[in-house]
Structure 1
Amino acid sequence: MPPHTMNVTHRLVPTPAGRTHLVEQGTGPLVLLVHGFPESWYSWRHQLPELAAAGYRAVAIDVRGYGRSSAPADPAAYRMRALVEDNVAVVRALGERSAVIVGHDWGSAIAADSALLEPDVFRAVGLLSVPYAPHGGPRPSEVFAEMGGDEFYVSYFQEPGRAEAEIEPDVRGWLAGIYAALSADTMPPADAPDPHFVGAGGTLRERFPGELPGWLGQDDLDVYAGEFERTGMTPALNRYRNMDRDWADLAAFDGAPVRQPALFAGGGLDASTTWLSDAVAAYPTTLPGLLSSRILEDCGHWIQQERPAEINELLIDWLAALPS
């Protein structure tokens, strides 16, 4: 579903980032959709028309540093507080007082923190793939330093330029590989080297499979690759490079639950969900407003693209159940 085939409106609105690019469809209560890494507004292409048809104003943004949104040069500009401020500014620029926010991957964390920091603006929160876990605990860099064995990808992404040197010579091929590595139909078998880790002197790419997952057409890959070939990877990777800043910035919220009406959906084969199963189990305390929770069996990480019909149904049913 290339962008030119979609009945959507593209807009640039002023935000603290400079500008935020968004794509909107439909009228009604505002639903703000926030993507993760390495994606763009386009990862919501299956949700925009269905939410619009159900009576909602569906708006998918390019997070700062992605696509046509501004990409500040300062790595610290990608701290969580700044991304929350962008989301508030988008709501205001659209002439709205409040919104439901839904995020996937890093977007899930951004959505949860938007609800946590700005409860008067974000009246409900949907989380896809990455569960909510309250702030607190050890400094992230200390956790990375204590991990033995192969290097975790989040640690690998910390050093400026290191991951870029792997990805940027062949952005399209690298994206195809990471999408395949975390998709249910193409992920490596359990006894293969884990694509979330890097061996000594190695790369992530060498652990990626060679085929495309069923949900990803060549035209879809062209859209993603074209954006990152134009912007480079550094702005997107800077989100990972702010985890210690976020740990300090948000210390006042350590242990805080998100109390708004909530939804969670994860893939049964997605490490982002399964590794954080304790966080899901803690939802009665940490996400007390949870109205809908689902684990989609035989589903990987790219949940709203792998299983769009099921995610659309979950979202629309949940939205209909929210207090007005």
Structure 2
Amino acid sequence: MSQPAPVTETTHRLVLSSAGRIHSVEQGSGPLVLLVHGFPESWYSWRHQLPVLAAAGYRAVAVDVRGYGRSSKPEGAAAYRMLELVEDNVAVVHALGEQTAVIVGHDWGATIAANSALVRPDVFRAVGLLSVPYAPRGGPRPSEVFAKMGGEEEFYVSRFQEPGRAEAEIEPDVRGWLAGFYAALSADTMPPADGPDPHFASRGGTLRDRFPTGRLPAWLSEDDLDVYAAEFERTGMSGALNRYRNMDRDWEDLADFDGSPITQPSLFIGGAQDASTTWMADAINAYPATLPGLVASHILDGCGHWIQQERREEVNEILTGWLASLPA
């Protein structure tokens, strides 16, 4: 049986939202599938999924999250709270002339996708989560939890809290920092398990001190790295980092959803060598209660954090199979 021809025509749009404008990249026609990236990425992280989903009969749309790429970058960290990002996604769906969509996210995008499905079930009829599991709102204030991690070392999320601090580490050499960060979390280039953990920095040191050097992960070409670096060199890093600076605000804003499950049909794909999967194993084990509509959960052996780029063919096969299983 012949395979459908790939869809190569790509449409870029700028749609209005409370952020100002959200940039989206679209291929195909059919039921809408909204793709949401994580840190430090862009719509380009879905370059391997857009044509495949389009060929499978879907309208695949990848966005630049507010603060990234060609999307607007509002002033002030509070503009990047979760509820604002949820409404950006709703605005994109409606601007495209649709009432509902399937939403799929990776890394921070997975958390944004999960909360979009939780807060706006009228719009998001199914949710796919890549790399970061769903964990309902609850427990202590996030900043208190992160401050206790690492002992004498500093956890990267805590390090990102102070405006300007992480920017000062990254922005003098955006390309080099990104190359090291991507390599640190990729299965084929990450440090050995018994080496210093790149999610932490020693007191007085930097995260980059622990990044591997010398080669890029197999999924990342020099040209790919140029695309990512050019965007952040143009925009700076503050818009992206502001997502981390709202975790306490999110905890407050989402108090009414404490412990709430996501009931729509859902999917999870994680990497066996990804810290997000291993650190949050309890969240995955809780899926019967927290994701009662879970259709499938996959842990990919030998895979790190950048899952839809590291293992694009497997992820594409899982995504298209899951989408085909959903009610019309």
TM-score class, shorter: over 0.9
1:116 and 1:175 map into 2 onto residues whose CA distance is: 32
Give the match for residue 18 of structure 2. 16
1:252 to 238, 253, 256: 256
Structure 1 segment 72-87 matched on structure 2, within 5 A? 72-87=74-89
Give the match for residue 208 of structure 1. 211
Give the match for residue 126 of structure 1. 128
Instruction: Give the CA deviation at 1:91.
Output: 0.2
Deviations 1:32-74 (A, max 9, x none): 0000000000000000000000000000000000000000011
2:188 and 2:169 map into 1 onto residues whose CA distance is: 25
- Partner AA of 1:309 in structure 2: E
Instruction: Give the CA deviation at 1:144.
Output: 2.3
Give the match for residue 34 of structure 2. 32
1:8 and 1:142 map into 2 onto residues whose CA distance is: 44
Give the match for residue 3 of structure 1. none
1:50 to 49, 52, 57: 52
SS in 1 for 2:193: coil
- Partner AA of 1:95 in structure 2: G
Give the match for residue 158 of structure 1. 161
1:41 to 40, 43, 46: 43
2:227 is the alignment partner of 1:223: yes
SS in 1 for 2:204: coil
Structure 1 segment 258-269 matched on structure 2, within 5 A? 258-269=262-273
Instruction: Give the CA deviation at 1:7.
Output: 3.1
Deviations 1:218-243 (A, max 9, x none): 11001000000000001100000000
For these two proteins, the number of residue pairs brought into alignment is 320
1:106 and 1:130 map into 2 onto residues whose CA distance is: 7
1:184 and 1:89 map into 2 onto residues whose CA distance is: 36
Instruction: Give the CA deviation at 1:146.
Output: 2.6
1:181 and 1:8 map into 2 onto residues whose CA distance is: 32
Give the match for residue 190 of structure 1. 193
Instruction: Give the CA deviation at 1:156.
Output: 0.6
2:241 to 218, 232, 237: 237
Deviations 1:251-274 (A, max 9, x none): 000000000000000000000111
Instruction: Give the CA deviation at 1:149.
Output: 2.6
- Partner AA of 2:10 in structure 1: V
Give the match for residue 283 of structure 1. 287
Instruction: Give the CA deviation at 1:192.
Output: 1.1
Give the match for residue 90 of structure 1. 92
SS in 1 for 2:187: coil
Give the match for residue 144 of structure 1. 146
TM-score, structure 1 length as denominator? 0.98
SS in 2 for 1:242: helix
TM-score, structure 2 length as denominator? 0.97
2:202 is the alignment partner of 1:199: yes
1:53 and 1:86 map into 2 onto residues whose CA distance is: 26
1:243 and 1:277 map into 2 onto residues whose CA distance is: 21
2:143 and 2:134 map into 1 onto residues whose CA distance is: 20
2:172 is the alignment partner of 1:169: yes
Instruction: Give the CA deviation at 1:142.
Output: 1.3
Q: Indicate if the aligned counterparts of 2:147 and 2:155 stay in contact, CA closer than 8 A.
A: no
After TM superposition, which residue ranges in structure 1, 4 or more long, deviate above 4 angstroms?
none
Percent identical among aligned pairs is 78
Identify unmatched segments of 5+ residues in structure 2: 1-7
SS in 2 for 1:189: coil
2:65 to 63, 66, 72: 63
Give the match for residue 104 of structure 2. 102
Measured on the aligned residues, the alpha-carbon RMSD in Å equals 0.9
2:319 is the alignment partner of 1:322: no
Instruction: Give the CA deviation at 1:292.
Output: 1.2
Give the match for residue 308 of structure 2. 304
SS in 2 for 1:194: coil
Give the match for residue 270 of structure 1. 274
2:28 and 2:152 map into 1 onto residues whose CA distance is: 49
Instruction: Give the CA deviation at 1:145.
Output: 2.8
1:247 and 1:86 map into 2 onto residues whose CA distance is: 19
2:19 and 2:94 map into 1 onto residues whose CA distance is: 14
SS in 2 for 1:33: strand
Identify unmatched segments of 5+ residues in structure 1: 1-5
Give the match for residue 115 of structure 1. 117
